[in-house]
């Protein structure tokens, strides 16, 4: 009865794991069968030893009988060895398969989630789902399942055999054993708490050292090394204390449990001994007789019961952990996919490059401030458009919206006169080339980074694109050339190199619309000039949006859009804006002065 409720509690169920029971039920069944077989045969061994003892004691044992026993023992051993191999392969191996499939499911789902999700959830927490939580679930399927059946069968059978031998004695053995087991479950909650404290102290130390190392220049500047060392000593001491406190509790628990079990065992020997003593006159065939062989059997069975009993406590904890972890994983898998094609999506594959903003007003989810206010703008195919404005004016938001990272109200952005919300997301993103502001580069070869969008990589083509982006010369200077792995073994790229690789990555797509979000901030003006010249040639007939801080980046654009606090503060060519727009004028002037302070090129003539 107790076992059954425990079983109901232990199993983890849920939409995302139930199918595994179906899919792998057969393997689990085989594993459990092997496990039960092992348990069954394991219990036969004490009977053989017991019989041998009786045979010796009563002088009935002959060489022939002994030989038969031994042959039987060999058979049992053979079956057990095969069984033990099989249950490990079937149960543990299958749990690894579930682990694998669940991890795939999680990653596949994570790929569909919106940027809003990624902004709200730290990547550290997401990582924990993939590592700790997944492992806890796997443990429930693997070792958990094994323990569960061991408790049921090994425990149950041993109990049954003991009960057969002597019911009262078994009663006296089982009750304290159960008590120890439950006590262990309780105490392990306490040690669990201490363990968490220990973890907390460890994390604290990790955080402290990390921050200290990141801020080392401040520490050195204020000659604060000694104070930091003193502070670290405190944290170090706290770690020591928490560790010792945990160790104390867990050692006490382990030693305590061992003592309890040993004492019960000896009391069993004593009580059993008394039974033997009491029935000493009876004949071996008498049902009331408790022989020395029986006592030996009894003690062995008792030994076999200990592990399942202890496993109960571990099972309870494992179940609690697995359930909590499963819930967290479910929360990820249940996360709604916010950005997806509309039900009435139009089957459009290609775009022409026209972009229309129509009364576009936008605020980020869960935010009250309007980032963009009533934006109206038409970009014709083939235009090079510069977008300029101060930090926080809403430039990057425009890019995010064009890439359909957020959902919009109907007809706020039209691509080729079709509402962006009705276009397939795949089409939008295939047709747009994007150079992100943060220049995220994967730790892969440079070739693969530039060829990110391509299914088949053509090195010639990549080289050409890298030349257009003025990064080819840098790349061939690296020891591995295009095969150099970025971010490993010391090859780290400078900001400017990253930026130009990122430009090449987007150019390789030869997209209908190219969006460059502040893509020249880390390159010098000369390089910038060269790339822009290349762009003008490459992007003929295709739409290009260049977002920039520096006027020099966009002054040659067909059209410049000046954004100020989410609104369009001016549209026109550089010359026109310079003549008529005071905000643009002041921006130009200010940048020119700053360039002068920086000691850059004297750009007075070219700009004013």
Q: Where in 5-34 is the site for another protein (CB under 8 A)?
A: none
Per CB under 8 A, contacts with another protein among 173-202 are: 202
Give per-residue burial for 381-406: e unless 16+ CB within 10 Å, then b. Answer: ebbbbbbbbeeebbbbbbbebbbbbb
Instruction: Check the CA dihedral 406-411-414-416 and report its sign.
Output: positive
Q: How far is CA 588 from CA 65, 436, 556, 559, in A?
A: 107, 25, 14, 16
Check binding of 593 to another protein (CB under 8 A): yes
- In angstroms, the CA 264 to CA 363 distance is 70
Q: Which residues contact 432 (CB under 8 A, 6 or more apart)?
A: 402, 403, 511, 512, 513, 514, 515
Residue with tokens 């867990």: 250
- In angstroms, the CA 100 to CA 121 distance is 23
Which among 267-275, 313-321, 367-375, 552-560 is the span making contact with another protein, rule CB under 8 A?
Answer: 267-275
Cα of 202 vs its chain's centroid, Å: 21
Interface characters, 471-490, with another protein (x: CB under 8 A):
-----------------xxx
Smallest separation, CB 279 to another protein (Å): 11
Q: At what angle do helices 45-57 and 63-87 cross, to 10 degrees?
A: 170
Interface characters, 550-579, with another protein (x: CB under 8 A):
------------------------------
Per CB under 8 A, contacts with another protein among 384-413 are: 390-391, 403, 405
Per CB under 8 A, contacts with another protein among 505-544 are: 509, 524
231 φψ region: left (φ > 0), alpha (ψ -120 to 50), beta (else): alpha
Single residue of 29, 175, 190, 255 touching another protein by CB under 8 A: 255
Per CB under 8 A, contacts with another protein among 416-445 are: 426, 429-430, 432, 434, 436, 440, 442-443
Check binding of 222 to another protein (CB under 8 A): yes
Check binding of 63 to another protein (CB under 8 A): yes
Check binding of 329 to another protein (CB under 8 A): no
Q: Which residues contact 382 (CB under 8 A, 6 or more apart)?
A: 353, 540, 541, 542, 543
Spell out the SS3 assignment of 360-427: EEECCCCCCCCCEEEEEEEECCCCEEEEEECCCCCHHHHHHHHCCCCCCCCCCEEECCEEHHHCCHHH
- In angstroms, the CA 89 to CA 154 distance is 19
Smallest separation, CB 239 to another protein (Å): 8
Per CB under 8 A, contacts with another protein among 287-306 are: 292, 295-296, 299
Single residue of 6, 44, 182, 276 touching another protein by CB under 8 A: 276
Check binding of 164 to another protein (CB under 8 A): no
How many residues in the chain?
A: 608
Which among 270-278, 340-348, 462-470, 539-547 is the span making contact with another protein, rule CB under 8 A?
Answer: 270-278
Check binding of 227 to another protein (CB under 8 A): yes
Smallest separation, CB 57 to another protein (Å): 5
**Complex with another protein: residue 236 or 534, whichever CB lies closer:** 236
Per CB under 8 A, contacts with another protein among 66-125 are: 66-67, 69-70, 73-74, 77, 80-82, 84-85, 88-89, 92-93, 96-97, 99-100, 103-104, 107-108, 110-113, 115, 118, 123
**Complex with another protein: residue 40 or 69, whichever CB lies closer:** 69
Interface characters, 197-216, with another protein (x: CB under 8 A):
-----x--xxx-xxxxxxxx
**Complex with another protein: residue 316 or 389, whichever CB lies closer:** 389
Interface characters, 43-62, with another protein (x: CB under 8 A):
-----xx--xx-xxx-x-xx
Check binding of 580 to another protein (CB under 8 A): no
Contact 602, 608 (CB under 8 A): no
Single residue of 259, 337, 378, 476 touching another protein by CB under 8 A: 259
**Complex with another protein: residue 26 or 440, whichever CB lies closer:** 440
If binding means CB under 8 A, how many residues of this protein chain bind another protein?
141
Starting at the edge strand found earlier in the chain, the sheet holding 418-419 runs 372-379, 355-362, 413-415, 418-419
DSSP string, 56-121: HHTT---HHHHHHHHHHHHHHHHHHHHHHHHHIIIIIHHHHHHHHHHHHHHHHHHHHS-HHHHHHS
Smallest separation, CB 142 to another protein (Å): 9
């Amino acid at each position: 009865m107790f076992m059954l409720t425990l079983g109901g509690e232990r199993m983890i169920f849920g939409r995302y794991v139930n199918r595994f029971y179906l899919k792998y039920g057969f393997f689990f069944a085989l594993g459990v069968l092997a496990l039960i077989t092992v348990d069954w045969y394991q219990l036969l061994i004490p009977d053989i030893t017991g019989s041998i003892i009786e045979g010796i004691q009563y002088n009935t044992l002959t060489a022939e009988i002994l030989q038969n026993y031994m042959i039987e023992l060999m058979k049992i051993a053979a079956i057990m060895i095969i069984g033990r191999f099989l249950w490990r392969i079937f149960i543990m191996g299958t749990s690894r398969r579930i682990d694998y499939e669940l991890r795939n499911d999680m990653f596949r789902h994570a790929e569909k989630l919106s940027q809003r999700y990624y902004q709200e959830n730290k990547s550290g927490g997401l990582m924990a789902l993939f590592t700790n939580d997944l492992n806890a679930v796997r443990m429930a399927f693997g070792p958990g399942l094994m323990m569960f059946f061991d408790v049921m069968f090994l425990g149950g059978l041993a109990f049954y055999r003991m009960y057969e031998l002597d019911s009262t004695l078994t009663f006296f053995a089982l009750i304290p054993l159960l008590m120890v087991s439950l006590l262990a479950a309780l105490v392990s909650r306490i040690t669990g708490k201490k363990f968490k404290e220990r973890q907390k102290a460890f994390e604290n130390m990790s955080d402290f050292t990390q921050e200290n190392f990141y801020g080392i220049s401040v520490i050195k500047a204020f000659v604060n090394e000694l104070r930091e060392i003193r502070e670290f000593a405190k944290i170090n001491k706290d770690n020591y204390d928490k560790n010792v406190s945990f160790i104390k509790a867990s050692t006490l628990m382990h030693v305590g449990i061992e003592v309890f079990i040993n004492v019960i065992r000896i009391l069993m020997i004593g009580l059993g001994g008394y039974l033997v003593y009491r029935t000493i006159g009876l004949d071996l065939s008498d049902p009331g007789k408790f022989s020395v062989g029986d006592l030996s059997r009894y003690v062995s069975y008792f030994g076999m019961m200990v592990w399942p009993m202890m496993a109960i406590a571990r099972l309870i904890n494992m179940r609690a952990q697995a359930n909590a972890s499963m819930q967290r994983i479910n929360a990820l898998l249940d996360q709604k996919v916010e950005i997806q094609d509309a039900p009435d999506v139009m089957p459009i594959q290609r775009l022409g490059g026209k972009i229309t903003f129509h009364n576009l007003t936008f605020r980020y989810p869960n935010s009250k401030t309007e980032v963009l206010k009533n934006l109206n703008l038409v970009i014709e195919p083939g235009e090079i458009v510069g977008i300029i404005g101060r930090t926080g004016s809403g430039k990057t938001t425009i890019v995010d919206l064009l890439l359909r990272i957020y959902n919009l109200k109907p007809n706020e952005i039209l691509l080729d006169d079709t509402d962006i919300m009705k276009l397939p997301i795949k089409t939008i993103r295939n047709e747009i080339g994007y150079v992100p502001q943060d220049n995220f580069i994967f730790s892969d070869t440079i070739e693969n980074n530039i060829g990110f969008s391509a299914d088949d990589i053509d090195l010639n083509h990549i080289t050409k694109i890298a030349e257009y982006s003025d990064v080819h010369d840098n790349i061939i200077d690296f020891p591995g050339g295009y095969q150099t792995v970025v971010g490993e073994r010391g090859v780290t790229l400078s900001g400017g190199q990253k930026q130009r690789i990122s430009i090449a990555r987007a150019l390789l797509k030869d997209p209908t619309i190219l969006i460059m979000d502040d893509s020249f901030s880390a390159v010098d003006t000369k390089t910038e000039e060269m790339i822009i010249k290349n762009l003008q040639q490459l992007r003929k007939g295709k739409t290009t949006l260049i977002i920039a801080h520096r006027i020099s980046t966009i002054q040659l654009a067909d059209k410049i859009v000046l954004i100020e606090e989410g609104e369009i503060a001016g549209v026109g060519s550089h010359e026109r804006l310079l003549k008529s727009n005071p905000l643009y004028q002041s921006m130009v002037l200010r940048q020119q002065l700053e360039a002068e302070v920086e000691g850059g090129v004297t750009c007075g003539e070219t700009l004013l």
